[in-house]
Structure 1
Amino acid sequence: MPMTPQEASTRAREICSLAPIVPVLVVKNTAHARPLAEALVAGGLPALEVTLRTPAALDVIREMSQVPGGVVGAGTLVTPEDVRNAKVAGATFGVSPGATDALIAACEAEDLPLLAGAATASEAMRLLERGYDMLKFFPAEASGGAPALKAIGAPLPQIAFCPTGGVSPQNAQTYLELPNVLCAGGSWVAPADLVEAGDWAGIEALARDAARLKA
């Protein structure tokens, strides 16, 4: 039987509860995949979102999925083909900037828990109507930031969010203090210059700092 929306949301909540920050990763070189994942997991950030924005992304997911302790998902899912390819590569959850009927159906058919994106109350309500109560708030800062997400949460307290898009060390704690936020997605824990330099110790240190953000 395909995964139900309720089962998918339960699993998404479990993943989002692993750490306060989910690294949003744009990885161009497959050789960086394993040591990058190892550094982030060692730093206390086990849930990893590999965005499908580079030709290497699916290979990166394959490599990272072999790292002990890591929970690897595919970000920027837009089409059913993205979903199928991500699942074959080893992704255990999916993240999308929004949500379409076709994308949701593909994730349910593939038993891939989906963190679907919503930026407004209406979008969140439509997903809740379908049974999804763990969502991505995107683009977070451009959509009004923590004040907007707090306002959405007042009439919709049953929905939890992972804000992503413009989240930084300077504002992450503000999001994490909201009662409807389980975690936040951020790219600062794996900056391109440190990845290119192979500074895995530096990335592990950034991960440790991020892992301390929420008590």
Structure 2
Amino acid sequence: MAVTPASTPMNPLDIASHGPVIPVIVIDRVEDALPLAEALLAGGVKVLEVTLRTAAGLPAIETIARHLPEAVVGVGTVLNADDARRASEAGARFAVSPGYTSAVGSACKGLNLPLLPGVATSSEIMAALADGFSFLKLFPAEAVGGIPLLKSWASPFGQVSFCPTGGITNATAPNYLALPNVRCVGGSWLTPTDAVRAGDWTRITELARATQALRNAG
């Protein structure tokens, strides 16, 4: 059964207002979705990006949206309009894409689904800006230039803020968060595969709790 999304669309920057790190979550078993989300919430992490990299992604989003309304659950790895539609029907409150196309941007606007579009080049930034998006995901951050690239973009794209994702760790996150044009970072280190498989929710809560001090550590 589809979950009715919130009637008032979220401002994309609200995604970054809840904390310095958005966990990038890959779920293999739907039964892990609820305890995993609860563990992150217990550690103070409210915004959750559940990717569509596995078959469990959509039902996991629906489970979290239905049972944990206090969580801001979104969908990652949105590649096309159909991904956006199905995720919105499942209860996703925002979408994240690894790259940007006008088709994905238009679909999300039509669904009132806030989009954090992925970019890796200046041309992609310009395309996203032309379609009205100014809060963007740098992906894959470390592979395409990371901090030096973000510093270089600060002048020509002063109106743009970023959520770098890809290759960032607990150790390097503060260096990104210290940049004026970075609002938050995305990372998979909050939900280690071995911890999820073992049901070690205490460890995940501890990792989530540790992110709260990152913004002041850079």
Provide the TM-score with structure 2 as the length reference. Answer: 0.92
1:163 equivalent in alignment to 2:189: no
SS at match of 2:79: coil
1:150 equivalent in alignment to 2:151: yes
SS at match of 1:49: strand
1:6-155 maps to which residues of 2 (within 5 A)? 11-65=11-65, 66-155=67-156
Residues in 2 aligned to 1:63 and 1:31: alpha-carbon distance in whole angstroms = 9
Residues in 2 aligned to 1:125 and 1:143: alpha-carbon distance in whole angstroms = 17
Residues in 2 aligned to 1:120 and 1:83: alpha-carbon distance in whole angstroms = 23
The 8 Å contact of residues 105 and 131 in structure 2, kept in 1 or not, is answered as: no
How many percent identity over aligned positions? 50
Q: Can you give the 5+ residue segments of structure 1 that lack an aligned partner in the other structure?
A: 1-6
SS at match of 1:214: helix
The 8 Å contact of residues 76 and 97 in structure 1, kept in 2 or not, is answered as: yes
Deviation, 1:126, is: 1.7
Q: Corresponding residue for 1:3?
A: none
Deviation, 1:154, is: 2.1
Residues in 2 aligned to 1:155 and 1:165: alpha-carbon distance in whole angstroms = 23
Per-residue CA deviations over 1:27-61 (Å, capped at 9, x if unaligned) read 01011101100111111111000000101111100
Q: Which moved more, 1:145-154 or 1:189-198?
A: 145-154
Residues in 2 aligned to 1:119 and 1:81: alpha-carbon distance in whole angstroms = 23
1:209 equivalent in alignment to 2:213: no
Question: What is the total number of aligned residue pairs between the two structures?
Answer: 208
Q: Corresponding residue for 1:189?
A: 190
Q: Which moved more, 1:120-129 or 1:180-189?
A: 120-129
Per-residue CA deviations over 1:181-206 (Å, capped at 9, x if unaligned) read 01000000000100111111110000
Structure 1's consecutive aligned runs of 4 or more residues displaced over 6 angstroms after TM superposition are none
Deviation, 1:101, is: 1.6
Deviation, 1:68, is: 4.1
Residues in 1 aligned to 2:109 and 2:189: alpha-carbon distance in whole angstroms = 31
Q: Which amino acid aligns with 1:86?
A: A
Residues in 2 aligned to 1:154 and 1:200: alpha-carbon distance in whole angstroms = 42
Q: Which moved more, 1:25-34 or 1:121-130?
A: 121-130
Q: Which moved more, 1:13-22 or 1:61-70?
A: 61-70
Superposition CA RMSD, Å: 1.3
Residues in 1 aligned to 2:100 and 2:207: alpha-carbon distance in whole angstroms = 31
Q: Which moved more, 1:103-112 or 1:185-194?
A: 103-112
Residues in 2 aligned to 1:53 and 1:117: alpha-carbon distance in whole angstroms = 16
The 8 Å contact of residues 120 and 152 in structure 1, kept in 2 or not, is answered as: no
